[in-house]
């Protein structure tokens, strides 16, 4: 009897255990469903741009960097989710590119576009990239993709804006199919790059913004126009007929003569095969109307002293020419660099003229004058101005 009672007791315990286990299993299922959340609605997952080989290969550039400069950096797309049952959604939901617009586009381009780093590095700035959808009719969704990008060149430590491009497309899709969204995004991005590729191919050889190097060519202006200006030439030294200054200036000076030389350069540039050719003309001159001499001082010795003032300007001009070479210039700012070097050379000219007059006593010290004559001639020969 006790044995039977014991069996009954064990049986009851077994039934209680099975009921407890069943409730535990049901509770586990309920907890699992609750933890997983509601089912994912089609069309709301992050958009992944598919890698594809673009239908062109850049010959003049590569995309070095993508920068997201959108005013609103929230989701790229606002899409109509797929209908649940018979109910169609009436409000678009935000859907972004996977990893964000900047990272997603940069990754897509680096994998899909040829990246030859020997070409020009270009920055692609995203000003606008958006997809907006609406559902004007039951079962259909209309979408619009808009893009606005700017392309800039990285050069000499700065970024040079080139061109901007705006584009977009429209599509109409079934309410339950989102397959058209991602290809549409890729299409507008591809067209932006195709447009830039066509532009840079046309402009690469002739647009100064795209120039890759500089070449410098100097020549000397020696033509004597028989006007108020005498241009430096070995075959045409100064003569007393070049001193046309007014007698008023002569009477007010304690010196026997004075000459007013200077130098300047003129230039024009042209672009050939992506190279800036700087064609510069050097002008070393004396202004006749600003130069004068006393009648009693018009001898060979005094004329030589004044000629040496002219020679000093020629020396400075030749030194200036030596500083204007491709390695000293940048494509971005060659003109300002040349102007700065010109100002520095002009200061050197004034300093040497003052030193020359001080050491020769304005020509009175004949021994010092002879030393300067020799020094100037040696340097003219070293610069191949004089043989």
* Strands of the chain, DSSP E: 61-68, 77-79, 93-95, 120-137, 140-155, 158-174, 213-220, 229-231, 257-258, 261-272, 275-287, 292-293
Q: For the domain that residue 87 is a member of, what is the CATH number?
A: 3.30.160
Structure-token pair, residue 7 = 């069996």
Of 209, 243, 271, at which residue does a domain stop?
A: 209
For residues 98 and 170, membership in a common domain is answered with yes
For residues 205 and 257, membership in a common domain is answered with no
Length of the chain: 387
For residues 204 and 274, membership in a common domain is answered with no
Measure Cα distances from 338 to 13, 237, 323, 335, 344 in Å: 102, 29, 9, 5, 10
Phi, psi of 131 (to 5 degrees): -130, 125
Q: Per the domain annotation, does 340 fall within a domain?
A: yes
For residues 205 and 72, membership in a common domain is answered with yes
Q: Per the domain annotation, does 23 fall within a domain?
A: no
Could you read off the pLDDT of 341-351 as tens digits, one per residue? 999 999 999 99
Could you read off the pLDDT of 227-279 as tens digits, one per residue? 899 999 999 999 999 999 976 655 556 788 999 999 999 999 999 999 999 99
Long-range contacts, 319-324 (Cβ 8 Å, 24+): 319/345, 319/348, 319/383, 320/263, 320/265, 320/282, 320/345, 321/218, 321/282, 324/216, 324/218, 324/278, 324/280
Phi, psi of 376 (to 5 degrees): -65, -40
Of 209, 234, 261, at which residue does a domain stop?
A: 209
List the pLDDT tens digit at each of the 387 positions of the chain. Answer: 333 333 333 343 444 434 443 333 333 223 222 233 333 345 578 999 999 999 999 999 999 999 999 999 999 999 999 887 666 767 899 999 999 999 999 999 999 999 999 999 999 999 999 999 999 888 899 999 999 999 999 998 889 999 999 999 999 999 888 999 999 999 999 999 999 999 999 999 999 999 999 999 999 998 877 789 999 999 999 999 999 997 665 555 678 899 999 999 999 999 999 999 999 999 999 999 999 999 999 999 999 999 999 999 999 999 999 999 999 999 988 999 999 999 999 999 999 999 999 999 999 999 999 999 999 999 999 999 988
């Amino acid at each position: 009897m006790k044995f039977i009672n014991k069996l009954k007791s064990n049986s009851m315990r077994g039934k209680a255990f099975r009921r407890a286990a069943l409730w535990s299993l049901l509770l586990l299922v309920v907890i699992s469903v609750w933890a997983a959340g509601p089912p994912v609605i089609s069309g709301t997952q992050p958009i992944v741009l598919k890698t594809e080989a673009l239908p062109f290969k850049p010959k003049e550039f590569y995309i070095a960097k993508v920068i997201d400069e959108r005013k609103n950096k929230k989701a790229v797309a606002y899409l109509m989710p797929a209908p649940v049952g018979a109910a169609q959604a009436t409000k678009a939901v935000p859907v972004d590119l996977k990893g964000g617009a900047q990272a997603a586009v940069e990754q897509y381009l680096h994998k899909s576009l040829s990246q030859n780093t020997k070409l020009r590095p270009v920055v692609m700035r995203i000003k606008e990239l958006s997809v907006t959808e609406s559902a004007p009719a039951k079962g259909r969704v209309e979408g619009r993709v808009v893009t606005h990008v700017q392309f800039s060149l990285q050069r000499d430590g700065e970024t040079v804006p080139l061109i901007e491009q705006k584009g977009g497309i429209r599509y109409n899709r079934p309410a339950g199919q989102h397959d058209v969204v991602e290809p549409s995004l890729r299409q507008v991005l591809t067209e932006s790059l195709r447009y830039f590729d066509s532009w840079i191919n046309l402009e690469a050889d002739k647009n100064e913004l795209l120039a890759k190097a500089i070449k410098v060519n100097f020549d000397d202006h020696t033509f004597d126009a028989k006007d108020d200006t005498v241009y430096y030439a070995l075959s045409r030294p100064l003569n007393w007929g070049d001193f046309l200054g007014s007698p008023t200036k002569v009477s007010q000076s304690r010196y026997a003569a004075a000459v007013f030389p200077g130098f300047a350069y003129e230039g024009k540039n042209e672009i050939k095969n992506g190279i800036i050719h700087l064609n510069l003309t050097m002008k070393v001159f004396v202004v006749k109307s600003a130069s004068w001499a006393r009648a009693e001082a018009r001898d060979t010795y005094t004329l030589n002293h004044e000629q040496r003032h002219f020679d000093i300007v020629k020396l400075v001009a030749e030194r200036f020419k030596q500083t204007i070479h491709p390695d000293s210039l940048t494509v971005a700012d060659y003109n300002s660099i040349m102007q700065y070097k010109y100002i520095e050379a002009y200061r050197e000219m004034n300093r040497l003229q003052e030193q020359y007059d001080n050491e020769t006593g304005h020509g009175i010290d004949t021994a010092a004058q002879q030393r300067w004559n020799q020094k100037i001639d040696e340097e003219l020969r070293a610069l191949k101005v004089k043989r």
